[in-house]
Structures are given as C-alpha cells and as structure tokens.
C-alpha cells in the first residue's frame, strides 16, 4: 500500500517523496513509518 506495492518501507519513503514532489510532512513520515 506504499505506492506501487513496494515492500521496503525505506524505498517507499524515497519513492513516495519523489512521486509527490513535495516535502513530506513530519506527520506523514510518522504515518508512513507506521
């Protein structure tokens, strides 16, 4: 459920930030981390 079915949370964070082209909010980081 990260974006394209990425199993690695680390990859999802990097890919997610690139896809959004935005500076991820701390709250979003916490939600993603969880």
Per-residue pLDDT of the chain (34 residues; tens, 9 = 90+): 555 555 566 665 665 656 555 566 777 777 777 6
Burial 1-28 (b: 16+ CB within 10 A, else e): eeeeeeeeeeebbeebeeeeeeeeeeee
**Secondary structure of the chain in HEC code, one letter for each residue:** CCCCCCCCHHHHHHHHHHHHCCCCCHHHHHHHHC
Number of Cα atoms under 13 Å in the Cβ half of residue 15: 12
pTM, two decimal places: 0.23
């Amino acid at each position: 459920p990260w974006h394209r079915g990425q199993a690695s949370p680390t990859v999802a964070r990097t890919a997610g930030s690139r896809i959004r082209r935005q500076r991820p909010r701390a709250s979003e980081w916490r939600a993603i981390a969880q």
